[in-house]
Amino acid sequence: MIARIIIDLFLLLGCFFAFAGVVGLIRMPDSFTRMQSSTNIATLGVLWTVLGVAIYAFMNNNIAFGIKVILIGVFVVITSAISGHAILRGAYKHGIRPDNLVVDEYRRDNPDE
Amino acid sequence: MKKTSSIIATFILCYLFWILFTLTFTAQELIAGAIVSLLVALFAEKYLIHEDAFHLLKPNVLLNFITYVLFVFPVELWKANVDVAKRALSPNLPINPGIVKVPVDLQSEYGLAMLANSITLTPGTITMEIVEEDGQHFYYIHWIDVASKDPKEAGNIIKGKLENWIRRIWK
């Protein structure tokens, strides 16, 4: 019973961060800040959910299921870091220049890109 | 010798993941996994291992690594997530974005990559580029709330404790 409540709490926390990420995705003014907000979903949104599911799996003595779920969490976290970096840099090199940047030191050091 | 040890390290990593994914200990699965892992290790070793292959298995390094992954980083992740979630949900959308250049005192390739990925994973900061100028490495970081334009101070706010912990792991 208590474990069930803990699992539900974890899933709710995951839902909350995914919700916050989506709201940010809609409200943020430019592509870069939208990406920042979507990191919410890929980190804690995924991790809390995965943790909840893993506890559920281990409680039902389904070790293989639990380990696979945890591995999914690990891979999502590792790959989303690299893809986030690549997308942001790609967007910048493509020529997206938000006008609300208070400071842009990359532009200062590489003016011709 | 160096090549052999890096092949062995890659093989162990691949085989470990194979076993974790299948989790059936029949001879057929184990032999197939060993062959596939060995092939992958032979081809991928030069992309994966550039420095000491078994550095991460030294006891104190491993202990620091586990502490970092399980305790230090999740705390930072939680703080940054709550901060960005608050920004996204608050009515007047308090953002102040900018790209700052921050000095980093790490030499190892793995350390630089690990710190860059840790910074990208914490919401609110994304690493754009790593450059080297006269032996000193710099990150260009897109930051959702530029609290300081001074490189040192900005670095302290963004990296926090993470850099010291990573220096204990990778030098």
Give tens-digit pLDDT for B7-65: 998 999 999 999 988 888 889 999 999 999 999 999 988 888 887 778 888 889 999 99
Of B88, B98, B127, the CB nearest to A85: B127
- Rounded Cα–Cα distance for residues B119 and B127 (Å): 7
B128 to A88: CB separation less than 8 angstroms, yes or no: yes
Provide the H-helix boundaries in B49-107. 59-67, 73-89
What residue segments make up the domains of chain A, in order of their start? 2-97
Give tens-digit pLDDT for A31-56: 888 888 888 888 889 999 999 999 99
Rg for chain A, CA atoms, rounded: 19
Q: What is the ipTM of this complex?
A: 0.86
Chosen from A22, A49, A105 to mutate, greatest number of chain B CBs within 10 A: A105
Give tens-digit pLDDT for A65-103: 999 999 999 999 889 889 989 998 888 888 888 777 887
- What's residue B1's pLDDT? 65
Of A36, A92, A103, the CB nearest to B144: A36
Backbone dihedral angles phi then psi of residue B136, each to the nearest 5 degrees: -105, 130
DSSP code of B70? I
